[in-house]
Structure 1
Amino acid sequence: MPDTLSFYREHSPFTDPGEYAYLYDAIPDDVDSMAQAVQGLVYHYFAGQWTFGYQVPPERQPEIDLRYAQRMLARLMELDDAPLRKPREHANKIVGCCRDFATLFCSIARHKGIPCRVRYGFGAYFGDFYGDHVITDYWNGERWVLVDPQMGPEMVQNLHLTFDVMDVPRDQFIIGGDAWQMIRHENADPDQFCVSPDIEQPRGAHYVMSHVLQDLAGLNKAECLCWDSWGLSETIAEDALMTDEATVALIDEVAQLTRENNPDLAALQRLYAEQAFTFNGTVISYSPAEQNPLEVALNL
């Protein structure tokens, strides 16, 4: 897989640390140390308080939209310019979510020459539902390994996890394509795929479809935010999705490709280039930090 591995060793505009690349040099080259470093840099904007007790001030909520690793690192240096491995107060971490843990882990790995990708889907380990989640996978020399860099020791204990978060089983992290296939062919309840069972929306087949698009984008190194929407996610209504045979067939094709362990890179790029799937330079952001959706121009 020389071309594929080279592709995932190189930064995207979202993982490129820019002028802050030197900060990564003090982090050891093993993936455990990279995950530990990331856990000390990001504080989850709503879930963090249930594990650690610190509540994010409202004025800092917009940090969840920093998007680019370079901006995240710049903000970290504003808060505390100590080396990244030095323990930080929660108030000196950037406010983010699972995608930011994953993107920074991916950024560090690529800086160190390790092929790495950001994957979008659902965690089966948050309770009796499939929770919206983003993690990574990296090439260990023999296979792609799923890693959840958000799951530090406290979260592992709180969630009573019995598997290795540095080698997450595929039945514990359900990538977008697998979730789509579960709905289409395994009679899975679409409403079980959600942010939280306590939140009515978003959930359902349309929400799963959006994760198929996000995972395709991630595999093309377009590491979007969890609340970014574009293409089919915007153009087809939820109540029309499952009755639109052409759209369902198209999503089936993407799902089947992205759920492969080693999907063909040329095929991924071909599909992503289609109008229904590509960013085209802008996304609609449904950020929790904003009252209304915003059209966001991307630095690509």
Structure 2
Amino acid sequence: MKDTLKLYKEHDIMTEIKTMKHMVTDIPKDIGTIVSYVQNILLHQHWSKAYGLELSEERKKEPFLRSFEEKLIFLNELGFTHVSEHRTNENKMISICRDFSVAAAALCREAGVPARARCGFASYFEKDKYIDHWVLEYWNEEKKKWLMVDAQLDALQQKTLELPFDPLDVSENYFITAPKAWLWCREGIFNPDLFGIFKWWGYDYLRCNLILDANSLLKVPMQPWDWWEGYKSLPMEEWTERDYKVMDDLSMLAVNVDNNFEALYKYVQTNDKIKVPENFSEVTISHG
């Protein structure tokens, strides 16, 4: 476990900060402050109207910048010199839940706190449904365990959603990671048709988030619309029971990642249908 924590304290390809270090100096080891910094710089695309913004087609392209470094460069061009600065909503970067989680993980790592972005499903956006979502998971040294944090939920969203929990400590009652969601649906504990977003539901969406979460645990947190050859793009009507078994095994390894990171790593690295291509030019964008 100690080695695993060390691993998640180190940056990955999406959280590494190269030329924009001056924007993330002196990040405190306080998760509340880190979340406030993320909310200083990012504004969720699908909540934009709630903040009084009408987004142009150009602004809707902002979430397509994958890495935190790219986002910091963009923010710097908007006039930000540090993530602690407060700006008006129209001067924040348009983003999605994955971006809030990746940015929060990046700032945690800058502060020396083990952290990772997790993909799964939240129960607090629509009644009786589990909606596609990402959260931050960070190691709480005092409690000696991983805690989930929804870095997206600012005061406006908390009030609108009437949350019954603290966004800085989200329990499994409210957010289910994709590997557990897959396994619980396969075991008949949950109905897979309740998992998804917009027009996409069921195992078709469960498998996408499972693959995203497994790769995020391996420190390659991709975006929901990123597609590559393999299980993320293979139509499920073409799947055999063996394909489902591959996802079952992937889920179990992901759930057990803290006890055996190497097993998950080897399983994904030896399966080109799961792992993200090393050359990102092989990753395409799905428009649904």
TM-score, L = length of structure 1? 0.88
Q: Is the 8 A contact 2:29 2:113 kept in 1?
A: no
Contact 2:45 2:60 in 1 (8 A): yes
Between the aligned partners of 2:245 and 2:185, the Cα distance in structure 1 is 14
Query: Residue 263 of structure 1: CA displacement?
Result: 4.3
Aligned match of 2:38: 38
Aligned AA (2:44): H
- The equivalent of 2:180 in structure 1 is 178
2:20 alignment partner, SS class = helix
Match of 1:120 in 2: 119
Work out the CA distance in 1 between the residues paired with 2:157 and 2:136. Answer: 17
> Shift of residue 21 of structure 1?
1.9
2:15 partner letter = T
Residue aligning to 2:28: 28
Alignment RMSD: 1.6
CA deviation string 1:184-229 (max 9, x = no partner)? 112533222121xxx32x2221210111111100000001012112
2:90 counterpart residue number: 91
The secondary structure found in structure 1 opposite 2:222 is: coil
**Residues matched between the structures, number:** 280
Match among 195, 208, 211 for residue 210 of structure 1: 208
| 3-state secondary structure, aligned to 1:233 | coil
> Any idea what SS the aligned residue of 2:120 has?
strand
Q: Which residue of 1 aligns with 2:63?
A: 64
Structure 2 counterpart SS, 1:120: strand
- Percent identity over the alignment is 28
Residue matched to 1:266: 262
Matched, 1:276 2:273: yes
From 128, 139, 147, the equivalent of 1:145 is 147
Aligned twin of 1:14: 14
SS of 2:137's equivalent in the other structure is strand
Runs of 4+ residues deviating >3 angstroms = none
2:225 aligns to what?
227
Unaligned segments of structure 2, at least 5 residues: none
Superposition pairs for residues 96-115 of structure 1, below 5 Å? 96-115=95-114
Which structure 1 residue ranges, 5 or more long, are not aligned?
Answer: 289-300
SS in 1 for 2:58: helix
* One-letter amino acid of the structure 2 residue matched with residue 145 of structure 1: L
Match of 1:155 in 2: 157
CA contact (8 A) 1:271 1:277 kept: no
Q: CA deviation at 1:154?
A: 1.6
Deviations along 1:56-77, whole A, 9 cap, x unmatched? 2221111111001111001101
The CA deviation at 1:163 is 1.0
Which range moved further: 261-270 or 249-258? 261-270
Instruction: Summarize the Cα distance change of 1:143–1:98 in structure 2 as closer, same or farther, 3 Å threshold.
Output: same
CA distance in 1, matches of 2:54, 2:242: 46
Give distance in 1, aligned partners of 2:172 and 2:112: 25
1:245 aligns with 2:241: yes
**Most deviating of 136-145 and 277-286:** 277-286
Distance 1:160 1:216, change over 3 A: same
TM-score (norm: length of structure 2): 0.92
> 1: CA distance between counterparts of 2:236 and 2:189?
18
Distance 1:249 1:206, change over 3 A: same
How far residue 176 of structure 1 moved from its aligned partner, in angstroms, is 0.7
Deviations 1:137-166 (A, max 9, x none): 011121111111111122111111111111
Measure the CA separation in 2 of the matches of 1:97 and 1:261: 26
| Contact 2:97-2:133 at 8 Å conserved across structures | yes
Alpha-carbon spacing, 1:287–1:106, altered in 2? closer, same or farther (3 Å): farther
Counterpart CA distance in 1 for 2:173 and 2:25 is 34
Amino acid at match of 1:8: Y
State how far apart, in whole Å, the 2-side matches of 1:82 and 1:221 are: 27
Shift of 1:261: 7.2
Question: Per-residue CA shift, 1:74-103, capped at 9, x if unaligned?
Answer: 110111234321211112111110011011
CA distance in 1, matches of 2:182, 2:125: 19
Contact 1:121/1:211, CA 8 A, preserved across alignment: yes
Cα distance in 1 between the residues matched to 2:224 and 2:48: 17
> In terms of mean alpha carbon deviation, does 22-31 or 209-218 score higher?
22-31
Q: Distance in 2 between matches of 1:185 and 1:203?
A: 18
Structure 1 pair 81–41 and aligned structure 2 pair: CA distance change class (3 A): closer
